[in-house]
Amino acid sequence: DQQVKQNSPSLSVQEGRISILNCDYTNSMFDYFLWYKKYPAEGPTFLISISSIKDKNEDGRFTVFLNKSAKHLSLHIVPSQPGDSAVYFCAATFSSNTGKLIFGQGTTLQVKP
């Protein structure tokens, strides 16, 4: 039973364009959502988060949108840069304090120069 799903295993975009990574979840009790980025041979790094009481959070080139009615969130990267090429994991938790994260399978983003 996969509670957090990233249905697109890979995405390729041109440098300077927008990258949109999608994530769906099934449990309406999730309270906090995160995006992590992972380069090869490294551990994931925290990118951006959003509380369930918000619908948008922005940090520089990265914006996360949450649609609770659709149980869907997305990460927008604009403009995309070659250094953004990595695996992006969506994650969810029932509480921002527990740290018990449930991760999606990941989407590999390739940004072409």
Is residue 12 close enough to count as binding another protein by CB under 8 A?
Answer: no
H-helix segments, the chain: none
Displacement of CA 108 from its chain's centroid (Å)? 11
**Contact pick of 64, 104, 107, 109 for another protein (by CB under 8 A):** 104
Displacement of CA 83 from its chain's centroid (Å)? 16
Cβ nearer to another protein, comparing 87 with 111 = 87
| Count of positions (residues) in the chain | 113
Is residue 7 close enough to count as binding another protein by CB under 8 A?
Answer: no
- Residues 41-100 binding another protein (CB under 8 A) are 41-46, 49, 89, 91, 93, 96-100
Looking up tokens 């509380």, which residue turns up? 51
